[in-house]
């Protein structure tokens, strides 16, 4: 076992899959209760109206876009607003999830199929997370990490028509394959990730960092030519898949910048700048100033806060013992994904949802053995989940209440 890993004998009793199923179903029951409360609270001013139901909440917001992709495909001509700028459209949403939901929906109907895929993928993602962490933590800590993940602030997405559950499944399986150095599986998992939702470019960066880390310690951990070929080839594959959707959108619409312009259409609704262009890392710089300005504070406070957050997170990934024990693959993935978000995203209320691929870090929260700590983290996650459901679904009537 790698240095720094916690060790313990597996406990007697039920098999991990059954224990995880019990944890997952209990978490989904609580989420369903939260959905019922949110539907009851939803009023005329809410996006869902006074007659909201659990079903309508589950298929709200981006779930509608995936449904549109499943039934109508992608536009061959980009829609435009009154100023002539590209308007929000289906090219921002990847095809794997709606395609699977459409196939299953032939039997169940699309809404049921979409939620069912999310539910099943969420459970399988819990199994994958447990396997990923079990090599680094004792079985109790790994199970607690799964409980925190299944009950966390964004756990409502396991019961919504979003692609997050399915993407997390592919991601956690990919990290497990990298952890075990089963590189062959990544040739399948990388395209599945890339065409389920954006983020595979972060995996390309992970592979680059992983290759550098393996090379640096090659005298202690042999790095053969075959592994080098796999790491380089998989990194190139991830990069190619990541950029291919832009090429596909450009070919279908006849506009090379179709995908970037589509993504920028959401950013323009925040900045109000019809001529906004994509520049790496500019989104976070702009948004940090925007949010502090909206709060009546000097813009430069926002830049200081951004720099402080970046330094604090970097320090945690580098030095926090609870994070270090999770191993190289999880730490490098977390760093790569955060750099990717900093490079491409404009932070707003959807940022909470976009942090979900950092799920392996729940292992760090589960490391302390105190029942008070673990129970407190579980309770905090459930409070955060209700806060998210209440604001994004029960209310959902202003610019900062978009999931």
Q: Of 107-111, 314-318, 398-402, where does mean pLDDT reach its minimum?
A: 398-402
Which residue has tokens 């090429």? 247
Flag whether 151 is in a domain: yes
Q: How far is CA 63 from CA 52, 60, 70, 163, 352, in A?
A: 15, 5, 11, 8, 17
What is the structure's pLDDT at 396?
82
Flag whether 243 is in a domain: yes
Q: How far is CA 59 from CA 99, 100, 395, in A?
A: 16, 16, 15
Query: What average pLDDT does the segment 184-190 reach?
Result: 98
pLDDT in tens, 233-277: 999 999 999 999 999 999 999 999 999 999 998 888 777 776 677
What is the structure's pLDDT at 14?
54
Flag whether 400 is in a domain: no
The candidate with the shortest Cα–Cα distance to 384, out of 150, 38, 152, is: 152
The candidate with the shortest Cα–Cα distance to 177, out of 218, 231, 138, 214, is: 231
Q: Where are the alpha helices (DSSP H) in 272-392?
A: 282-294, 299-319, 321-324, 328-344, 351-354, 362-366, 371-389
- At residue 10 the predicted structure's pLDDT band, cuts being 50, 70 and 90, is very low
Cβ atoms of residues 151 and 107 within 8 Å: no
Query: What average pLDDT does the segment 157-168 reach?
Result: 98
Mean pLDDT of the chain: 93
- Which bin fits 109, alpha (ψ -120 to 50), beta or left (φ > 0)? left
Q: Which residue has the higher pLDDT, 14 or 12?
A: 14
Cβ atoms of residues 148 and 18 within 8 Å: no
Residues 6 and 11: their CA atoms lie apart, in Å, by 15
Flag whether 5 is in a domain: no
Q: How far is CA 278 from CA 89, 98, 249, 255, 281, in A?
A: 17, 27, 17, 16, 9
Query: What average pLDDT does the segment 2-13 reach?
Result: 41
Residues 142 and 135: their CA atoms lie apart, in Å, by 9
pLDDT in tens, 222-232: 999 999 999 99
The candidate with the shortest Cα–Cα distance to 87, out of 287, 333, 234, 258, is: 258
Residue 394 sits at the vertex; the CA angle it makes with 389 and 395, to the nearest 5 degrees, is 110
The pLDDT of residue 299 is above 90: no
What is the structure's pLDDT at 4?
40
Cβ atoms of residues 78 and 255 within 8 Å: yes
pLDDT in tens, 366-383: 999 999 999 999 999 999
The pLDDT of residue 130 is above 60: yes
Q: Which residue has the higher pLDDT, 396 or 258?
A: 258
Query: Can you give the pTM of this predicted structure?
Result: 0.93
What is the structure's pLDDT at 401?
82
Our count of domains for the chain comes to 1
Residue 386 sits at the vertex; the CA angle it makes with 296 and 341, to the nearest 5 degrees, is 60
Residues 257 and 252: their CA atoms lie apart, in Å, by 11
The candidate with the shortest Cα–Cα distance to 60, out of 327, 355, 394, is: 394
Residues 122 and 144: their CA atoms lie apart, in Å, by 16
- At residue 20 the predicted structure's pLDDT band, cuts being 50, 70 and 90, is very high
Flag whether 355 is in a domain: yes
The pLDDT of residue 293 is above 70: yes
The continuous run of DSSP H or E covering 125 comes out as helix 110-134
The pLDDT of residue 1 is above 50: no
Flag whether 175 is in a domain: yes
Q: How far is CA 335 from CA 4, 326, 362, in A?
A: 19, 13, 15
Flag whether 401 is in a domain: no
Q: Up-side HSE of residue 238: CA atoms within 13 Å toward CB?
A: 24
What is the structure's pLDDT at 9?
40
pLDDT in tens, 52-102: 999 999 999 999 999 999 999 999 999 998 888 899 999 999 999 999 999
Flag whether 26 is in a domain: yes
What is the structure's pLDDT at 209?
98
The candidate with the shortest Cα–Cα distance to 52, out of 32, 35, 31, 30, is: 35
What is the structure's pLDDT at 86?
92
Query: What average pLDDT does the segment 321-347 reach?
Result: 96
What is the structure's pLDDT at 172?
98
pLDDT in tens, 34-49: 999 999 999 998 889 9
Q: Which residue has the higher pLDDT, 399 or 126?
A: 126
Residues 235 and 230: their CA atoms lie apart, in Å, by 8
- Domain of residue 211, residue span: 16-395
């Amino acid at each position: 076992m790698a240095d720094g890993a916690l060790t313990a004998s597996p406990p007697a009793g039920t098999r991990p899959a059954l224990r995880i199923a019990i944890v997952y179903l209990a978490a989904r029951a609580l989420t369903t209760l939260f959905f019922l409360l949110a539907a009851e609270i939803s009023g005329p001013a809410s996006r869902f109206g006074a007659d909201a139901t659990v079903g309508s909440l589950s298929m709200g917001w981006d779930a509608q876009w995936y449904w549109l992709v499943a039934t109508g495909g992608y536009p061959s001509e980009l829609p435009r607003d009154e100023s002539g700028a590209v308007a929000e459209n289906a090219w921002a949403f990847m095809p794997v999830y709606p395609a699977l939901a459409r196939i299953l929906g032939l039997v169940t109907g699309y809404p049921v199929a979409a939620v069912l895929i999310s539910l099943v993928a969420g459970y399988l993602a819990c199994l994958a997370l447990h396997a990923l962490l079990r090599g680094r933590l004792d079985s109790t800590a790994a199970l607690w990490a799964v409980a925190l993940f299944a009950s966390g602030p964004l756990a409502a997405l396991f019961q919504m028509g979003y692609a997050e559950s399915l993407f997390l499944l592919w991601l956690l399986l990919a990290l497990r394959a990298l952890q075990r150095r089963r590189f062959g599986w990544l040739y399948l998992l990388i395209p599945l990730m890339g065409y389920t939702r954006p983020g595979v470019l972060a995996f390309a960066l992970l592979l680059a960092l992983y290759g550098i880390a393996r090379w640096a310690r090659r005298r202690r951990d042999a790095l053969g030519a075959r592994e080098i070929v796999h790491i380089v080839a998989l990194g190139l594959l991830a990069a190619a898949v990541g950029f291919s959707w832009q090429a596909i959108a450009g070919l279908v619409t006849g506009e090379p910048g179709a995908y970037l312009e589509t993504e920028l259409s959401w950013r323009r609704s925040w900045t109000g700048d019809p001529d906004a262009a994509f520049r790496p890392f500019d989104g976070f710089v702009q948004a940090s100033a925007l949010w502090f300005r909206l709060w009546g504070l000097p813009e430069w406070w926002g830049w200081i806060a951004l720099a402080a957050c970046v330094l604090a997170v970097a320090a945690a990934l580098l030095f926090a013992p609870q994070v270090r024990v999770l191993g190289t693959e999880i730490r490098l993935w977390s760093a790569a994904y955060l750099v990717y978000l900093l490079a491409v995203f404009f932070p707003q209320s959807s940022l909470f949802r976009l942090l979900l691929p950092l799920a392996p870090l729940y292992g760090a929260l589960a490391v302390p053995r105190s029942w008070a700590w673990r129970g407190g983290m579980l309770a905090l996650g459930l409070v955060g989940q209700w806060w998210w459901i209440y604001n994004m679904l029960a209310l959902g009537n202003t610019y900062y209440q978009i999931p």
